[in-house]
Structure 1
Amino acid sequence: MKLNLQQKLKSYGDTYWNFEKIKRDGVHKIANYPAMMVAPMQHKLIEDVINMEGNISNIFDPFHGSGTTLVEGNRFGLDLIGIDINPLANLITKVKLQGVNKDTIYNSNEELLLRINKYREKMMDLHYFEKIGKWFRKDVIHDLSIIRRSIIDEKDKRNREYYWTCMSDLVRKYSNTRSSTFKLHIKEENKIKIMENNIIEDFICAVENNVNSFDTPKSNSKLLIQGDALDAMDKMEANSIDFICTSPPYGDNGTTVTYGQFSILSLLWIDHKDLSISSDELIKNFSAIDSSSLGGKINPVISKSDDIPSEVLVNLLKTISIEKQKKIKNFFHDYFIVIQKMIRVLKPGHMMVLTLGNRRVDNTEIKLDEITKEFCIKNGLEIEAEIDRSISRKRIPKMVSRIENIGPVQSMNSETVLIFRKGESV
């Protein structure tokens, strides 16, 4: 008897989808990014859906992040469509998919090293942006400026974008920010002073070690959009997507995962000519990306319980302070709209895979999985399969906030994968 999708996914065993012993390798390790998806998990999900459906030629991720889902979709030769508001995420994903110019990269690497050595011997203008001295030691500013100038002088655009990606990790590593959080918090002064500066050596090592990580280029189409998913999906044709596979934000960035704060220092070092930025406002200040993301804008929030299309959410809000209710309502105002737009672009009869986590507010679990399931079913989707998995290895700080009289609140340690099918009449 042929298994349905739920039976197929469960047949691997209760702990299979945890992927606890998996380490990032290949193209997925060329740059760090918060809350990265597990590549083998995404690969297996995509593989099983493709094999079962047999009618999938494109895959869409409206919150592509560091590109894990799109890279795995690329390995099956699918046409790719991705959206992310974060220019650093867009750059990392672009580099992972396009790779380097194999005809010129080794020559480019040699010339890059020569330029670095030249600028080390010769005084040069240092890069500057507002508050740079707060976030970087003087010697680090000097060495990052050498690397930056050496990258700008690279003529091959693909190779240059690759170099920026290699540099992005080192900007964060050698900054004065704490590594225990994605937010921008200054390290203790003694830790800043004793930090050993090997940034140029680390950069050269990254460039040389990562160059062979890329997959063989494929001829499938690849469309990456840097922008707000709410706006970008309006320009997409209805019923045009064969398969949606994504992990949407679990809450507004400012209080959940601050992707923008994690990225902004790197973005301020990268030449903006090599970034896809829909608006310079995104890098105008250190919180602009997060405040422009889902739920971050100042919207007319849902004011009445009758206006909230989820009984689960209405009941949860009763246990949360009025002030924090506003942020939650603001997030779900955007979240429900973006889910509706995803449903609009998905072809009837086709599947949408959502990987979701339940964060805590005032130590109340915001049951995003139940809220999403309730909303999607009301909007014409049927639940096809569901997986619960541990995320003990996912790159999220162990403690995300502190509540008065309660203390530190643990971050989420599990996720739910919901797989929906759009009805033929929707």
Structure 2
Amino acid sequence: MNQALVRREDLNVDNTLIQNIAAYSLQDASYWSFKGRSKRNHCHGLIQYPAMMVPEMQGELIDAIQSVDPNITTVFDPFVGSGTTMGESMMRGLDFVGHDINPLAILACEVKSGPLYVKKLNDKISDLLSAIELSNSNEVAVNFKGIDKWFLKEIQLELSSIYLAIKAEPSKWARKIFWLALSNTVRSTCNSRSSTYKLHIKSEEQIEKIGSAKVIFKKNLLKSFENIKAHKEMLTKNGHLKRSKSVSKVSIKNVDAKLRKKSKQKFDLLISSPPYGDNSTTVTYGQFSYLPLQWIDLSDINEKIDPSILSYQNAIDSSSLGGSLKESEDKRLKLINRSSSLDICIEKILKVNPENIKKLVSFVYDLDLSLKNAIDELRDNAYMIWTLGNRRISDIEVPLDKIMRELLESRGCTYVYEIERTIPSKRMASRNQIASTMGKESVLIMRR
């Protein structure tokens, strides 16, 4: 088949996809905002994680892509986060591969992926709660810099009782569920404010109101059980469960998107939402995870995890996109003329605060490395769906959607369509004082 004919067929498929997606907006201009139509239940309710995607939107986008490309069997997410895309892929019986640098994200995804031994889990929860009730630890089970700053002594002892009881559970699959419930408990019982993902101390009055870690953990664990039970019921209803395990083959890896090695497999569809900016100043996933990870046995997540990622509260964020500001001028030279939108944005920021260029350039440089790796993982003509938000630097909007499009086009990818959506509510914007930046998102659809 000649290249012109192949090209024409590709464009016909793209046009059909555009028409299918645009049809929703014709009925309702605010359709893709999902206001009042989004719920975080079953597996999506197992963790509160920063900047989570809308499950229903990701699911409908998968359906739209499958309507024009029925050969999709594997979905890839290089920034898997809490696993929203993974959950929706499992609901459709699709295999899934997810990568993330944050161990807490890996834990959340591994719990969601199963196994879903509901009856066994119910018994193990009863045993665990009984053990915790009988335990009154006199010693703190973990130690890290700042523990007395971030936790009251009585909370440290209660968390230690929970920690030791979980460690005594013989089944690793059950321990992971318990660790995830403990992570939610740590966030509720620490002395850091819940109004931000950065670590900021609560007022004395707020600290005095912190409840019992044991009581809160029990509530979180029972809620987790109900969500896992509902997750299993959903998979069963959709015909995608076999012997308490999802029929989807799921692989979750704790790797750095900008450094990871190329895999042998070629994926059929990419759906992801990369960080909207460097983690130090936008969404601090690492700081959010820092305290919970101190109370989790990291070897249950990944035996090869380097403990230094918890050596200080910004360690994960410093290893993430844009975490290093070194050699920013060299990085800029490598990016120059790859994205006209980036070049224009840099010139605007230079006039206001030249130092802030380092943040932008370092982030985009690392993002571009990640994009190269992600593209290499895809089969020919595979679609990519990127959910993006435009942050501000020096009060100048950074057009990440345009920058992403141009970087991908410079690597041979084809632009297909873009959806702009308002964010009716998202655990990110107002909590990090960037509401004016993140009131809208763009969904960028590209093809390899």
Q: What is the CA-CA distance between 1:373 and the residue it aligns to?
A: 1.2
Instruction: Extract unaligned runs of 5+ from structure 1.
Output: 402-407
Deviates more, 1:211-220 or 1:388-397: 211-220
Code of the aligned partner of 2:91: R
> Which is richer in helix?
2
Q: Match of 1:132?
A: 147
Partner of 1:271: 297
Match of 2:144, SS state, is: coil
Residue 267 of structure 2 corresponds to 241
Matches within 5 A, 1:4-403: 4-13=16-25, 14-21=29-36, 22-120=38-136, 123-193=138-208, 195-214=209-228, 215-216=231-232, 217-232=245-260, 234-237=261-264, 240-276=266-302, 278-303=305-330, 307-308=335-336, 309-320=338-349, 321-398=353-430, 400=432
Partner of 2:3: none
Matched, 1:410 2:439: no
Alpha-carbon distance in structure 2 between the residues aligned to 1:162 and 1:307: 43
Deviation for aligned residue 1:103: 4.7
Q: Give 1:378 shift.
A: 2.3
Give the superposition deviation at 1:386.
Answer: 1.3
* Of 272-281 and 287-296, the range deviating more from structure 2: 272-281
From the superposition, tell whether residues 185 and 159 of structure 1 become closer, same or farther in structure 2 (CA, over 3 Å).
same
Describe the superposition over 1:198-234 as per-residue Cα deviations: whole angstroms up to 9, x where unpaired. 32122112222321323332233211110101222x2
CA gap 1:279/1:207 in 2 versus in 1, 3 angstroms: same
2:24 partner SS? coil
Distance 2:416 2:339 in 1: 20
Q: Secondary structure at the match of 2:374?
A: helix
Deviation for aligned residue 1:306? 7.5
Contact in 1 for aligned 2:325/2:358 (Cα 8 Å): no
Cα deviation, residue 150, structure 1: 1.2
CA distance in 2, matches of 1:306, 1:93: 35
TM-score normalised by length of structure 1: 0.92
Per the TM alignment, residue 127 of structure 1 is displaced from its structure 2 partner at its CA by: 3.2
Deviations 1:86-137 (A, max 9, x none): 00000011101114433521221121122112213x6455432221000011
Per-residue deviation, 1:322: 1.3
Tell me if structure 1 keeps the 8 A contact 2:414–2:447: yes
CA-based RMSD of the aligned residues comes to 2.0
SS at match of 2:187: helix
Other structure's SS at 1:243 match: strand
Contact between 1:177 and 1:185, CA under 8 Å: does it hold in 2? yes
Would you say the 8 A contact 1:399–1:410 is kept in 2? no
Name the aligned partner's letter for residue 339 of structure 2: S
Q: Which whole-Å CA distance do the structure 2 matches of 1:250 and 1:163 have between them?
A: 31
* 1:319 partner SS: helix
**Residue pair 2:181, 2:217 contacting (<8 A) in 1 also:** yes
The 1:306–1:29 alpha-carbon spacing in structure 2 relative to 1, beyond 3 Å, is closer
Range with bigger deviation, 287-296 or 372-381: 372-381
SS in 1 for 2:60: helix
Measure the CA separation in 2 of the matches of 1:418 and 1:392. Answer: 19
Flag structure 2 segments of 5+ consecutive residues without an equivalent: 1-11, 233-244
Identity of aligned residues (%): 36
State the TM-score, normalizing by the size of structure 2: 0.88
| Secondary structure of 1:65 counterpart | coil
Quickly say closer, same or farther: Cα 1:301–1:149, change in 2 above 3 A: same
Question: How many residue pairs are counted as aligned between the two chains?
Answer: 412
Report the secondary structure of 1:255's partner residue.
Answer: coil
Closer, same or farther: CA 318–341 of 1 in aligned 2, 3 Å: same
3-state SS of the aligned residue for 2:246?
coil
Q: Deviations over 1:66-87 (max 9, x none)?
A: 0000111111111111100000
Helix, strand or coil at the partner of 1:250: coil
The answer to whether the 8 A contact 1:170-1:203 is kept is: yes
Q: Which amino acid aligns with 2:52?
A: M
Instruction: Give CA-to-partner distance per residue, 1:284-312, whole Å, 9 cap, x none.
Output: 11111000001113442244568422111
The SS at the match of 1:420 is strand
Conservation of the 8 A alpha-carbon contact between 1:62 and 1:246: yes
200-209 vs 310-319, greater mean Cα deviation: 200-209
Following superposition, the deviation at residue 273 of structure 1 comes to 2.3
Q: CA deviation at 1:383?
A: 1.5
| Cα deviation code 1:312-343 (max 9, x no counterpart) | 11111122211110111111111112112222
